[in-house]
Each structure stands twice: as C-alpha cells, then as structure tokens.
Amino acid sequence: MSHAESDHLVARHTGLVARAAWISGLTLASRLVGYARETLVAGLFGDKSAALDAFVTAWRIPNLFRGLMGEGAIATAMQTELTRSEHERGVASSNALFRGLFLLVGAASAVLVGVLVLCVLSMPDRMPVTDWPWLGSDPGPVRELVARMLPFVVFACLAAVAGGALQVRARFVAWAAAPALMNLAWIAALLWTASRHGWTALVGAAELERQLAMARDLAWLVLGAGSVLLFAQLPSVASEGLLRRTAPIPWKEVRGVFARSVPIAIGVAVFQVNIFVAGLYAEALLADGGPSIFWWVTRLQQLPLSLVSVAAASAVFPLLAAHASRGELVACAKLHKDTHHAILFLALPATASLVAIAPEIMSACFERGAFGSEGVQRGGDALRWLALAIVPVGAASWCARAHYALGETRTPLLAAFASAGVNLVAAPVFILQLGMDVAGLCAASALAAAVQMVILGLSLRRLLPRTGEPRWRRLLLPIVLGLVTAFVARAVFITASSGPTTVLHLIVAIICGTATYILGSALAGSPELVGLRARFARRRP
C-alpha cells in the first residue's frame, strides 16, 4: 500500500471528540432505555424474587459472552488485524478477512452453545470442595432458563464481529444504536409477558409459579431481542462492502486471529468475567433477592463506565492501532496519554457522585411496585463499593487495548489472571467473614480491577516513550472537583423532602453536579476541557 493510502486509513479516524460524543449519546440512549426495562422488571418481580434470581443468574452466561466478544476478544482482535491487513494488503484483503471471521465465529458460537447446554444440564448442583449451591437452592429453573437463552450467544458473537469491522471503517452509528433497539425489544417482551400473566401479584406458591412462568416466556423472547443486535448492523456492513467477495478468504489468517482472540478476551474483558463469577457467588451465598440486586447494581454502574471508557476506547482504539501498525510510538504514547486522562477526567466525578448518592439512585430507579426500602438499602451499599471500580476498570480496559495495539499480549493475560484470582478469593471472604452481603461482591470486584490497572499501567511505562509532564499533576484537579461535585449532588437530597427519591430529584442532582464540575473545570483551566473546546471550535464552519 502506498504512503498516501496509508495516510487515508489514519485520516478517516479524525474527529475523535465528535465521534466519542456520538457514541456516548447513543450509549446513553441505550442505557436509559435499559433502565426503563430494569425498572419494569423490578416492579413486576420485586426485590426478593427467587424466580428473578434464577432468571438473572441464567442470563449472565449469554451476557458474559456478549461482553467478551463485543468489548473484548473479537472486537479488539479484529480491529487490530483488519487495520494491519488494510495497511499491508488493501481493503479487498480486509473484506476477505472479515468474511472468514464472520463465518468462523458463527459456526464456533453455534457449537459452543451446544456444548454449554450439555454442560449446564449435566453439571453438579454444588461447587466442588466448598459444597456451595452455585445454582441456588432450586437449580432446576436456572438450568432450564440457561438452556433457553444460550442461543443468544450466536447473535451476540456475530454482532460483535460486525461491530468491530464497522469501527475500523469509522462507522459507529449502527453499532452504537443496536443495543438501544435491543432494549426496546426487551421492553416490548416484558409488556407482553406481564399482560399475559397479569400485573397483580398472587400469594405464596402461586406467586412463585406465576413469576417462573413469566421468566420462561421472557427467556424465549430474549432470542428475538438478541437478533435485533445483529440485524441492526447488517445494512451498514453491506454498504461498506464487507460481505462482498473481492478476494479469497485467508483461512489460515482467520484461524490465527480467532486463536489470538482468546487471551485478548481474558485481558480486555476480565471485569465481565469477575462479575459473572460474582453472580454465581450471589446465587450460592446470598439470601433471596441478592442475585437480582447485584444485577441491578452492575447495570447502574455500567452507565458511567460505558459513557466514559467504552465510548473512548471504541472511538480511539482504531487510530491507536493504525499508529502502531506504522511504528509511530511517539504518536501512540501521546494518544494513549490523552485518552487516559480524558477517561479519568470523566470517571472521577462519576465515581464520587455515585458514592455520595447511591441509595437515592436505587430509590429513584427501582423503589416502586414490589421493590421495597430493604432492597434500596442493600443496593445502595453495594453500589457505593462498585462505583470504586469505574476508574480502575476504565483505565485497565484502555491499557489492555494499548498493549494489544503494540503487539504485547503476555502482560494483559497475566494481569487478568491476577485480577480473577483476587476476585475469586476476596468475594467469599467479604461475604462469609465480614458479612458484607451484596456489597462484598462489589468490593471484591473493585479490588480485582485495581490490581489489573496497576499491573498494566506499570507495564506501559516500559513500552511507550515518555511525553510531557508527570501524570499525577493532571489528576489533582478532577479529584478535587469530583469531591465538590459529589457534595453538591448530595446537598440536593438533603434539602429535598423525605420519602422515596423521585426521578425528578435524581435529574436535578445530576444537573447540579454536572454544572458544578464543568464550571469548576473552566475556572481552573482544565487541560481536558480546554482541549475539548478547541476541538469543537476547529469544527465550526
């Protein structure tokens, strides 16, 4: 490929701020629709539902593969390899590589579903050695629901392949909008299920049976929602010519990319693995409602995490991979540092605010219908601990991607194993020895993420050249302003009337906190805010 063509492949990834804003906006829309879905679920099932515990435990398995494939293995491996293929051999070769991956991932995920169904149906009811009931006291519904929902994995994996290729081609809208459309399909499924089985709770065993019937119907309808995740992206895939037969499929290269995706999956998406393990602990060790509350808490924590780290990484990583493929280490170092600081600039105030108003957030989102004040308290305590994972998860995810762009896969894998080991040991200790309930799972997840972040951060100091001032100087301002933001948000609820928190209270608190942070950043001359303003100013006609 000529130097001019190579420059074009880099140049198409300009406008990173606007692109990240687009992704964040679409992600926000998806999360808001998702919260409407979760609020509806909470009102229907309540905060102590054994049937809902079984449903969310079963759903964690297909959702884990969505995280691994979409945010980890295939997305990251594909972006690296497709970018390298385009730079070295041209677009036609890149299209052929995509077609091979699409076919191979589709076949492999179908086989995986069959194997997992057999494993779930034949696995023992209790954990080896510890004898904990990892599928709960009644494992039958969990097994049944897992078997019904596992085919979702096929749609999720193929959607990840499509999304990874579209990001390389600087096409982000369909990929970012697909989850919102999927959540709308979920809401439609919930409304249909509730209208079929009734909105009014029954008494005793009859209510449990009604809720199990709703869970079984939802398990089938989830597959339809999952198909939306894939089919929403196919028109954009077709318009890019990715399915066009322009060159023979390089099957050896395809198999190599697929094999390399395994360690990448573990390295980039180990937080999802830790959350999955914590979900099994929740079903085995917590009282009724614990697994469901842990699920809702992770959903709330994912909003700032997705808006900040996932959006930034998705928008910037293709450019980082392009610089790395050309051997431009100084450009890689500067882009990595700027993105890292941007993540921290947004993640620190989000962390402080969640810690300050966690119970109020739980109340505003879920305290209605069968969801009571006890569930709010359990969830609020847990959300405070999980909020502490926002910064380390965002930083570790970006650092792992930087390693893969530079061709270094060993350290992310070692960091992921260290993180998983910490989570595996710390979670039962926090629950059984310290009596922390759902909060113990969240504290263990935050600690595990911090371990991964430290290992990867120290490694990148060796791989990338130094650029500019020490990093700690740019951390002080967002830390201080984050604490002020949290104080302002908390003050909104102190001055509000007593009783359950309303959505209006929550919106006012968020607006006041955000305005305080932006104003403080502007007065202090924050480098991140100055950079954002400069980028938007350059875009004006």
Per-residue model confidence (pLDDT) at position 4: 47
Buried b (16+ CB within 10 A) or exposed e, 482-514: bbbbbebbbebbeeeeeeebeeebbeebbeebb
Buried b (16+ CB within 10 A) or exposed e, 282-321: bbbbbebbbbbbbbbbbbbbbbbbbbbbbbbbbbbbbbbb
Q: Distance from CA of residue 347 to its chain's centroid?
A: 14
Where does 306-328 have alpha helices with state H?
A: 311-325
Cβ burial of 470 (10 Å; 0-12, 13-18, 19+) is: exposed
Residue 137 neighbours by CB distance under 10 Å: 11
3-state secondary structure 411-422: HHHHHHHHHHHH
3-state secondary structure 36-83: HHHHHHHHHHCCCCHHHHHHHHHHHHHHHHHHHHHHCHHHHHHHHHHH
Buried b (16+ CB within 10 A) or exposed e, 2-19: eeeebeebbeebeebbeb
One-letter amino acid identity for 362? M
Backbone conformation region of residue 183, classed left if phi is above 0, alpha if psi is from -120 to 50, else beta: alpha
What does the alpha-carbon distance between residue 272 and residue 438 come to, in Å, rounded to a whole number?
17
Where does 72-124 have alpha helices with state H?
A: 73-89, 91-122
Token match 């926090």: residue? 430
Instruction: List C-alpha distances in Å: 538 to 18, 22, 533, 541.
Output: 11, 17, 9, 8
Residue 233 neighbours by CB distance under 10 Å: 26
What does the alpha-carbon distance between residue 9 and residue 6 come to, in Å, rounded to a whole number?
5
Using 70 as the pLDDT threshold, list the residues of the chain that sit under it. 1-28, 69-77, 80, 264-265, 307-315, 467-474, 496-501, 528, 530-541
Whether the CB-CB separation of 112 and 197 falls below 8 Å is answered with no
Cβ burial of 443 (10 Å; 0-12, 13-18, 19+) is: buried
Where does 123-250 have alpha helices with state H?
A: 139-149, 152-168, 173-197, 205-231, 234-239
Per-residue model confidence (pLDDT) at position 314: 62
What does the alpha-carbon distance between residue 530 and residue 147 come to, in Å, rounded to a whole number?
52
Domain boundaries, the chain: 3-468, 469-541
User: If you count them, how many residues does the chain have?
Assistant: 541
Token match 């991607």: residue? 401
Question: By three-state DSSP, how is residue 151 classified?
Answer: coil
Question: By three-state DSSP, how is residue 372 classified?
Answer: coil
**pLDDT digit string, tens, across residues 258-285:** 777 777 667 777 888 888 889 889 988 8
Whether the CB-CB separation of 470 and 339 falls below 8 Å is answered with no
Q: What are phi and psi of 158, to 5 degrees?
A: -65, -35
Whether the CB-CB separation of 215 and 54 falls below 8 Å is answered with yes
Would the pTM count as exceeding 0.85? no
Within a 13 Å sphere around the CA of 128, how many CA atoms are in the beta-carbon half? Answer: 1
What does the alpha-carbon distance between residue 311 and residue 21 come to, in Å, rounded to a whole number?
8
DSSP string, 346-369: HHHHHHHHHHHHHHHHHHHHH-ST
Helix (H) or strand (E) holding 390: helix 390-405
What does the alpha-carbon distance between residue 481 and residue 498 come to, in Å, rounded to a whole number?
28
In the DSSP assignment, the letter for residue 185 is: H
Per-residue model confidence (pLDDT) at position 449: 93
Whether the CB-CB separation of 152 and 226 falls below 8 Å is answered with yes
**pLDDT digit string, tens, across residues 311-361:** 666 667 777 777 887 778 888 888 888 887 877 887 888 888 888 888 888
**pLDDT digit string, tens, across residues 479-530:** 888 889 888 888 887 776 666 667 777 888 888 888 888 888 888 877 767 6
DSSP string, 436-500: -THHHHHHHHHHHHHHHHHHHHHHHHHHS---SS-GGGGTHHHHHHHHHHHHHHHHHHHSSPSSS
Best CA proximity match to 269, nearest among 482, 107, 66: 66
